[in-house]
Structure 1
Amino acid sequence: MTLFQQNIAEVTIKYSHKIKPSDQVRITGSKSVYDFVCPLWPDLEYRERFAVLLLSRSLKVLGLSWISTGGVSGTVVDAKLIFQVSLKSNASSIILLHNHPSGELRTSEADRRITRKIKDGAKLLDIDVLEHIILTSETYYSMADEGEL
């Protein structure tokens, strides 16, 4: 092994799942997303988290990836992490998700800005951003349903 080979990191990309396609959950709309994700979401009323739901071409769930965890009033979202996991899982489309611990369902300017940024980047990668949902412990807000996407 040469000195050059010793000083370079090896990059591996791996995605595996144990659920047969016939057993994967199919997303049919914002309510089905909320019903699927809400029971899996820790700390809905405690701290803000951001996640991405990864979908196949037939809108079946490939996985859920936690992108960031913040404090009571926000979290930092790194779009590169969203694209990394989307490409790694071979997702055809994604759904953005985050919670508002305050219970407030209105979108903020920061919510709209990160949605636009991710949607623009995803377009270059041929990945559709279908939805951005804000969750609370009682209900949800769908940016797609409300015409904000």
Structure 2
Amino acid sequence: MRTQINEIKISYKDRILSDKWVKLNSSQSAAEFIYKQWDKNTIALHETFKVVLLNNSNKAKGIFEVSKGSITGTLVDIRVLLAVALKCLSVGMILTHNHPSGTLIPSASDKQITKKIKDAATLLDIKVLDHIIIAPNADYFSFADEGLI
């Protein structure tokens, strides 16, 4: 009797030519890029956690929405986040989430998840360059600028 097993296939396909990818070389350029991609109809409604995936030149390969939550929080599955980063061969990432209230001060949970993701990513040779919190009015807080990453 033959045992049946699922086949696992991993693939990644660029849809946009790499010469058109945006280079993110500062927290300000990253925050502006992130804010432009955010759905302005929901930015003040609920928290969403996303990751900007980067190549070796800090060019954005894409943005992946990791989770969508409530007004005051969202859960982040680090395994899913890192699986996506590995699948698209990212060497760097910028974490980002919004605070619907407009308050830019990171919570203890924000700091904790950042550390957990950074530690896990380090094992896979993926750099976490920043964690940016954005507000509905386009203000932002950068963990890197404040020495928290």
TM-score by length of 1: 0.94
TM value normalised by structure 2: 0.94
Percent identical pairs in the alignment equals 42
Match of residue 33 from structure 2: 36
State the shift of 1:82 in Å: 1.0
Aligned to 1:59: 58
Distance 1:66 1:117 in 2: 18
Deviation per residue, 1:25-81 (Å, 9 max, x gap): 100111111111112212110100000000000111111000000010000000001
Residue 91 of structure 1 aligns to a residue whose secondary structure is coil
Query: Match for residue 11 of structure 2?
Result: 14
Unaligned runs of 5+ in 2: none
Q: How far apart are residue 21 of structure 1 and its match?
A: 1.5
The residue that corresponds to 2:23 in the other structure is 26
| Number of residues of Structure 1 aligned to a counterpart in Structure 2 | 146
2:110 alignment partner in structure 1: 111
Q: Report the Cα distance in structure 2 between the residues aligned to 1:64 and 1:13, rounded to whole angstroms.
A: 19
Alignment map for 1:40-51 (pairs within 5 Å): 40-42=37-39, 43-51=42-50
Q: CA RMSD in A?
A: 1.0
Displacement over 3 Å in runs of 4+: none
Listed as ranges, the gaps of 5+ residues in structure 1 are none
Query: Which amino acid in structure 1 is aligned with residue 35 of structure 2?
Result: C
Moved more, 32-41 or 76-85: 32-41
